[in-house]
Amino acid sequence: MLKQDIRLLTRAQLEAALLEMGQPRFRARQIGDWLWKKSVTSFEEMTDLSKHLRGVLNEKFEIKAVLLDKVQFSADGTVKSRLRLHDGFLIESVLIPVPEDERYTACVSSQVGCSLTCKFCATGKMGRLRNLDPAEIYDQVVLTNRQSMERYGHPLTNIVYMGMGEPLLTYKNVMQSIEWITSPDGLNISPKRITVSTAGIAKMIRKLADDGVKFNLALSLHAADDTKRNEIMPINEHNNLEALVSALDYFYQKTKNRITFEYIAFRNFNDSLQDAANLVKICRKIPARVNIIEYNPIDNAEYEKADDTMIDRFAQHLRDNRVAVTVRKSRGKDIDAACGQLANKQ
């Protein structure tokens, strides 16, 4: 008999299945606590259930847990994990510790590969193989939190959906994973500690607003004019900057949640003072802060990391125009840090 993944059932579906087995309704709450609060990966660990019930559950259901396949440790403390899914696909998650700020961030993936083919990204070269189930996203948070506790004695403080994939193209699964992560019946992490990053899908940004989400939103901008953005991010041809700014303004007006522009600085491409001036114009239209990010080059890349002096000039121009800006140094330079690099390795 083909077993069903128990973590794909809603509470109501689990209750119905248990009633068919002659079990009381409250067993669903017990099992849910084991799955989402305690994050167990086998029925044998559910010790307040009878041995008989555990056996029956094991016959009918399975828990398709995500497994660690390979781990890389950077000299700067970053931990990158390659994870194997039940069907053999590989994904990545990253632990980014900043102990001096008591900040420990999990960067999680939402898809196996990605369909958006951004020219600077290793994941885009894979294509999209499939979406991740909500539980597979949830497992990344659990595993990364465990790594943070083991290495740093500190739980995660933040979660960013900035790994492999475009979160807004697997909207339902991402939203369900966030519900489990933030629920008191799950990991009970504040949504204000979560940021979802998108390459820019205007209609889905508006849907986030209409759904009244509580988490933060980041836009992977990387160029502040349509010509350059079209060149590196083909999605911009159907979601241009005017449409995105309008959608982001709608999101902010509806939610009052923080918006961040992620801006990877590429040498002699988007790092000039004119590029900075174009970015200032966008930032005057909606309340946002800017994260300037050093580029982690990938194999056969067309682009290079901008010079530090150019990044500093760029950032200072933003500050001079009252734009909140942070320059984020590249992490994990001595490992396969760029998104998709480790998953693509044999």
Q: Which residue blocks in the chain are alpha helix, DSSP H? A: 11-20, 27-32, 51-60, 134-152, 171-182, 202-210, 226-232, 241-255, 273-283, 308-320
Q: Cα dist. 148→96, 106, 222, 225 in Å?
A: 9, 9, 30, 39
The DSSP element (H or E) to which 128 belongs, if any, is strand 128-131
Backbone phi and psi for residue 131, each to the nearest 5 degrees, phi listed first: -80, 155
Count of Cβ atoms closer than 10 Å to residue 96 Cβ: 24
Q: For the chain, how long is the longest CA-to-CA vector?
A: 70
Q: Which residue among the candidates 92, 136, 166, 262 is catalytic per the annotation?
A: 92
Question: What sign for the dihedral angle of Cα 335, 65, 109, 252?
Answer: negative
Q: Which residue among the candidates 114, 118, 121, 339 is catalytic per the annotation?
A: 339
Q: Is 339 an annotated catalytic residue?
A: yes
> Which residues, in sequence order, are CB contacts of 85 under 8 Å at separation 6+?
64, 66, 91, 112, 132, 136
Between CA 187 and CA 180 the distance in angstroms is: 7
Count of Cβ atoms closer than 10 Å to residue 45 Cβ: 13
User: Residues in the chain, how many?
Assistant: 346
Q: Is 44 an annotated catalytic residue?
A: no
Between CA 95 and CA 109 the distance in angstroms is: 12
- Which residues does the annotation mark as catalytic? 92, 339
